[in-house]
Amino acid sequence: MEQLPSTDPIDRQARPAGDEPATASLYVHIPWCLSKCPYCDFNSHAARTWPEAEYADAIVRELRHRSRERGFSGRRFATVFFGGGTPSLFEPRTIGRILDRVAEDPGLEAGAEITLEANPGTVNEGRLRDFRSVGVNRLSYGIQSFQPDLLLALGRRHSVDDSRGALVAARRAGFANLSLDLIFAVPGQSIESCEADLDEAVSFETEHVSAYALTFEPGTAFHRDRSAGRVRQAPEDLEVAMFELVRARLSAAGLPAYEISNFARPGFEARHNQAYWRGVPYLGLGAGAHSFAPGDGRPPGAGFGCRRENVRDPGRWMAAVVESGSGVVETEELGRREAMGETCWLSLRETRGLDPAAFRTRFGEDFATAFPHVPDLVADGLVAWQQGRLVLTARGLLLADAVFSTFL
Ligand code: SF4
């Protein structure tokens, strides 16, 4: 079985600010879906047709322009992630065209992880072979549930049989690195149906699983339905029981948690996601995509990094790129204190936790001095020291957002 190299070449925790790696990550946003799921707050738009060629032209143009920006110039990409939306709606040759341009300039690292998010209803074995032949080596399927009633409740267009077929077809097409997404705590879901989802998920022996509790984000149909009493959120104790079941069941199946919601066989942790949590530079192309460019750590000047956000509307993003080469609409420089806090909570997301020695190397200040409240968090049983690293406890995992907010 092919295995991508499990390297850790791009971990900013362990380097002084300004001493950045020569690689970066690339995110490409494809904003169209066949319909809008009622819980979705992503930048996705229901459509029957989409301007695929023009959009890909704009991606390539933005790549050319922005890969030369401060923080990205001279870096090759170690990971590429096509997210959405539903990127698997695009033709494999379009994805291949974008990847060819990336490989030409600024370049791809050998063994780069190249992920495509796919909706099970949009692929078949032939199409998957084509995605593989143009360079995609990891698929991330939005399965969500193997229960027909839950798929219906979630407003998903695909069927359980679509999911089963897509998982089998991916193996036949040669994909050796597969991920599937599950959603739990769906209104009306029982603990038994959560268990059945986990059983079926592990039966496909995928290398990676992401499992998230359903959230009711402002602006979504589900949020409105809950406010109007048309949808009832799962009780908190049931959600906690499901969260604990997910972690135990996946770990027992050889997929331990390496992050709050992400589980993988050793060596198959998503390197692209790790790049986000570890503060690695990432370039986001496409409508509404976000980027993070490193700074040199010497303010005033470049500071501790810079976040950028693209125009969300696909048409306006394309127009901006045609005009100026860039779809960026907002830029935010990170100060030292903000970068310190972000390093802490992003590190705590991962099971391996935060390394105080790496923190000192990066910021030139002791972690204990910068965050004197940590002993209180330890006393409250929310975090603990394990082999010299600070990690979330079982209780802290359930209250992670509250813990993170103490570092902001
Ligand atoms: S398929 Fe994914 S991106 Fe598209 S609407 Fe549904 S949840 Fe959102």
Please write the tens of the pLDDT for every residue from 174-212.
999 999 999 999 999 999 999 999 999 999 999 999 999
Ligand 1 centroid–CA 42 distance in Å is 7
Ligand 1 centroid–CA 326 distance in Å is 25
Measured by CA distance, the residue closest to atom 8 of ligand 1 is: 40
Q: 10-residue block means of pLDDT along the chain (408 residues)?
A: 36 52 91 97 97 98 94 93 98 98 96 98 97 98 97 95 98 98 97 98 98 97 96 96 98 98 98 95 97 71 82 98 97 91 97 96 93 98 98 98 97
The predicted pLDDT at position 21 comes to: 56
The predicted pLDDT at position 296 comes to: 61
The predicted pLDDT at position 9 comes to: 38
User: What are the residue ranges of CATH 3.20.20.70 in the chain?
Assistant: 12-276
Ligand 1 centroid–CA 145 distance in Å is 14
How do beta strands 262-264 and 208-213 pair?
antiparallel
Which pair of tokens denotes residue 145?
Answer: 């549930």
Ligand 1: which residues within 6 Å by Cβ? 33, 36-37, 40, 42, 44, 84-86, 119, 142
The predicted pLDDT at position 1 comes to: 34
Looking at domain 12-276, its CATH class is alpha beta
The predicted pLDDT at position 6 comes to: 35
Which residue is it, tokens 């690292």?
A: 109
> For residue 120, how many other CB atoms are within 10 A of its CB?
25
Cα–Cα distance for residue pair 360/15, rounded to 1 Å: 9
Measured by CA distance, the residue closest to atom 6 of ligand 1 is: 37
Ligand 1 centroid–CA 249 distance in Å is 26
> For residue 48, how many other CB atoms are within 10 A of its CB?
7
Atom of ligand 1 nearest to the CA of 117: 2
Ligand 1 centroid–CA 355 distance in Å is 36
The predicted pLDDT at position 346 comes to: 97
Measured by CA distance, the residue closest to atom 7 of ligand 1 is: 40
Measured by CA distance, the residue closest to atom 2 of ligand 1 is: 85
Ligand 1 centroid–CA 212 distance in Å is 14
The predicted pLDDT at position 186 comes to: 97
Cis peptide before 85 (omega within 30 of 0): yes
Atom of ligand 1 nearest to the CA of 46: 5
